[in-house]
Every structure is written in structure tokens, then in C-alpha cells.
Amino acid sequence: MSKERFRLTNLPNWMRVRFDDAQRFLALCIISGVVCGLIGVSFHLLITGVFETAFGFYSELGVWALPAMVLSPAIAGLMVGLMIRYVSPTATGSGIPQTKAAYYQKFGVIPVAEAFWRFIIGTISVGLGNSLGREGPTVHICSAVSSKIGRLFGLGKLRVQAMIPVGMGAGISAAFNAPISAITFVFEELMDNFSSKALGGILIAVVVAAVVERTILGEHGALHADDEFFETSWWMLICLLIGPAAGLLGHAFTALLLKLRSQFKQWQRIPSWLKPAIGGLSVGLIGVTVLCFSGGDHHGVFSIGYDDLNSALNGALTWEVLLLLLIGKVLATAVCYASGASGGIFAPVIFIGSMLGGLFGVALVNLFNADSSVAAGAALLGTGAFFAAVIRCPMTSILIIFEMTRNYSLILPLMVGNLIAYVISAKLRAIPIYDALLLQDGISLKKLPAYRGEKDWRNLPVSTIMTHDCRNTYGVFTAFETLEQIKDSGHLHHGYPVVSNLNEQELIGMIMHHELEEMIAAGDVRPIAEYVADQKVVTLYPDDSIRGAANTLVIKDVLQAPIVSRKDPNKLLGIVTLHDIARQQNAIEESLERDS
């Protein structure tokens, strides 16, 4: 068969004839690196340009400057809320949880329209002052584009799925100018373990994306930190205090964000499209408060806050300003993200960490007459430690500080502080923030990488493997009506939770499939609610451990148990079965076999 002549419209077929699957994949990794690099730089420049133009304009409004700054994030939130509600629901939040879910549940298929709208909505949200970052959205955008490139050129399902880590790595590389950290982040956050097979394509993409970024923006770190070389000194022992402080604050920040997000989700009287506006208004009020009390020259609570971040990393802020910015950024970011605005938490985490470390550094300077550069060094230590505590990628937390600042001299105390922060945070909360966000959205981690480790997985809460959208039966129906509904839905199970009616999630019992069939055979036409009226239901709580759940199911001799709210034991949240636990066990064993 003669080879087709090259035509741009027939490029996928032309490549398919001349190159095998592996060769096409590597070629597409290069293309993905170039495209993602351009997207990452464009996103960065556009957000920075919008923010500087908007807030520069506000500063010239005289007495109306502060009201304009208060309203700017709120107006952006309203625009974002309407666009998320009616145009692109997946543009809410960071984008990293959505990317993980697409990778593990949809073979890496992310519609390119999601990338387009994420770009527009993220620019409006962050550019007009909402206290979020661009790095998470960059990951989502680049992963969607990379996925589309793979599908456009006819790659198979597994190859398309493999384009997601390629896009994620290229996005992080372009956003932070940190190619090494981009690689470790992909393996730590997305893939959950190291794979030499996946390394080649990711490596090519991150290098190409970094080359594009440096060609356009120049050869410099993403952060303009003090470039002084620090010799090993006594003051570096401050990492032993920064580590625990970062671990505790990281846990508190995560808990606050998740708690507020849960409250916003339960706030049914307020339309979903209005909630980001409420979050934006909160950011405006907090940001202006910090601005006024810090001398009128610190806008760090708004948007990404790189000016104040760089000032902290150069030891140029007083302890009063550091404390105000720390408290303000924690509150503003938690409220803004929880409200459903579009933007990531990478940049706020780096910002908060630098303020925390800066406080310790300023204390060393004031109390022990240390050199002023020590404040800058401590701010770098705080940045890495807080990143490790919240994002939970320990290797990335070390490498990204080195790559973003081009300063290697603090590597030893950075490693110690990051490890302490990571261990404390992981001990206080087993589930990292991105997976916790997925759980809040009802996406079960049994379909995700699933904490592979033979020692720790059984101690995780049962909510990580339970089925959230379980098949319920209704107490007002008869057995015949119930079985007809089950047949129509096509979801046949061993047992079903019984709720009071169609509009309530009030658990009143459990009924087995064979019991429904026996009721029909016996001519029993009672509503199911009467059949289960005297039943004692074995229930579990979402924070019960997997080990405890398995023991309960075995001791009570049942194959499944409904999960109910600890605050309201009659509120059905989901169901877990022995099959779920066995499936998790099999996933662990398979992972251990691959790693051995």
C-alpha cells in the first residue's frame, strides 16, 4: 500500500502510517510541551496584566479606591459563578482534583472546552483579585490540551490516559519554571508511585515547556528571593520549630477550607452562582482590612500576591506585616476556595508558608541579633514546610523551593523542616487535601490510586472506599414496585438501604434482594417500611476505619452496611460492602507485586 502524501488535514493518518505507537507518543509529548509552555506563559502574563491594570486603576480613584478593591473580587466572583453554573461546571476550584478524576475514571479524556473556559474563568477570578493561584488551573488546562492532542492523533485509550501526566508535568514546569519538581509532583500527586515507563514522555514535555517559558520570560526563578549563599549555622536549627508550626497550621488551614466548603455546599437557600460572589466579597473586605492596617502598601491578600511574597523572601517585611498577611491570606483563601471560585491553592500555600517562616526569621533577627538575611532564609524554610504539610508531596516540596529560588544552600534544614511538617500533618489528617476535595464531591477513592501501602490503608476512614451514590429503595413502595424499579435501572445488588420516601435520605432499614422476591412469592403487599419496621440495622460512620468496618461486618455476619452521619444517625450517606474492602485489598496486593 502506497504511503499517503503529507497534507495538514491528514496529519494523524500520515503519522500513523510512518511511525509506530511509541514514536507517535514521543512526538506528541514534544508537541504537548510546546503548546502547554505557551499556554502556561500566556495564562501567567494575562492574569498578571489584568491584576496590575485593575488595581493600578483602583489606586487612582481617591476615596473610591478602597470600595473598588472590596467590590472587584465580588464582581469577579459573580461573573465566575454565572459562568460555572451555566457554561462550564468543571471550572470551579483548583482543577487538580478534576484532572485526577479524569485520569482514573475516564481514561484521561478531558474535553478541550474545559481548558478554554478554565482559561477565561481563571483569568477573571484571579486577575480581578480573588485570593487564589494560577498553578492548579494551569495543570487542568494543560492536561485537557494534552489529552486532546492524544485523541486528535489517534492514540489508543491507554496512550491518551498517559498524556494526562505529560500535560500535568508540562503545566507545572511552565507555571513554576521548575522542570524537576514538575516530574516529582506528577508521580507523588497523580500516579502515586514511580514508573520508569512513564518517565520518558513526562521528561520530554517538562523540558520543552521549561525551554518555552524561559525563552519568553527569561532565565530566572519564579520567585525573586534573596540569592545570598547561606553557610551552615546555628540559626538553621529554627527548622525544628518551623516544621511543627507548619504542620499544625497546614492541618488547620486544610480543616478550615474543607469545613467552609462543606458549609457552602449545604447552604441551599443561596443560588450556587451567587456563592463565589460572597467569597469574593469576603476576600475584598479581608484584603482591604489588611491593606489599611499594614500601612496601605501591601496587596498580598488579593490575587497571587507575588510582590509581598518576594518581599518576605528577601527579609523586607516587619513582623506586624507578616502576621497580618498570614492571617489575611489564610482566611481569604479558605473562604474564596470554599465558595466555589475558580483558582488553585498552590500559590496561596507558598505565600502563607513564606509569611510563617518570615515570622520566625524576624524573631531571630530581633531577639538574637542575627543577620537580616536570616529572615529571608527562614521564609524559604517556611515556604517548603507549609507546602509539604498541605500539598503532601514531600520530594516536590524540597525541590520546588530550590528550583523557584535557585538557592541550594538551605537544602539540609529545608529537608528536616519539610519532613517534620509532612509527618505531623499526615498524622493529624490521613487524607491529603486534593483527595479530600474529591471525597466531598462524592468521588470515591476506591476508583483512584487508593493509598497503596500494606500498613496504613486499613486505618483510613471507610469514607475513602464507600459508595456515595448507592441504590436506595423507598419505604412507601411495595416489594413488587421496588423490584420493577430495580429492573428498570439495571442495578441489581445483594441488598439495598431503605429510606422513608423519594425526597428524604432518612434511613429506616436494609432489605435484601432475596427478601423482596420472597415477599412477592408470599403475596405480601405491605409497604417495605412496615416490613423493616422492627429491624435493627447495622450502621457505620464515615470516619470509622476500614479495619473497624471489616470487623463489624464479619462479627455481625452481614455483607454490607449503610454509612450514616455521626451528627444525624438517620441520615444516609452511602454504603460499604465486604466486596469494597476485598477490592481494596486486591489493589494493595497487586501494587506490592508490581513494586517487588
Successive 10-residue mean pLDDT values, the chain, 596 residues: 56 70 86 95 95 95 94 97 94 92 87 95 97 95 95 84 94 90 92 74 94 88 70 90 97 96 88 96 97 92 92 92 97 96 95 97 93 90 96 93 81 94 93 88 58 56 79 86 80 84 80 89 88 87 87 88 88 87 69 48
Q: What is residue 172's predicted lDDT score, i.e. its pLDDT?
A: 93
Q: What is residue 349's predicted lDDT score, i.e. its pLDDT?
A: 97
H or E, element range at 447: none
Q: What is residue 253's predicted lDDT score, i.e. its pLDDT?
A: 98
Spatial separation of the C-alpha atoms in residues 301 and 286, rounded to whole Å: 8
Q: What is residue 558's predicted lDDT score, i.e. its pLDDT?
A: 87
Give the CA-trace dihedral at 116, 117, 119, 120, to 10 degrees.
120
Q: What is residue 578's predicted lDDT score, i.e. its pLDDT?
A: 87
pTM recorded for the entire structure: 0.81
Spatial separation of the C-alpha atoms in residues 255 and 558, rounded to whole Å: 34
Helices (H), ranges, 186-318: 196-217, 239-266, 275-293, 306-313
Q: Is 572 left (phi over 0), alpha (psi -120 to 50) or beta?
A: beta
H or E, element range at 559: none
Q: What is residue 361's predicted lDDT score, i.e. its pLDDT?
A: 95
Residue whose C-alpha is closest to residue 546's, from 465, 468, 470: 465
Q: What is residue 455's predicted lDDT score, i.e. its pLDDT?
A: 47
Rg (CA), the chain: 26
Spatial separation of the C-alpha atoms in residues 449 and 465, rounded to whole Å: 11
Q: What is residue 501's predicted lDDT score, i.e. its pLDDT?
A: 76
540 φ/ψ angles, rounded to the nearest 5 degrees? -130, 160
Measured between alpha carbons, how far is residue 87 from residues 17, 90, 117, 169, 263 in Å? 39, 9, 8, 27, 24
Q: What is residue 109's three-state secondary structure? A: coil
Q: What is residue 264's predicted lDDT score, i.e. its pLDDT?
A: 93
Q: What is residue 596's predicted lDDT score, i.e. its pLDDT?
A: 46
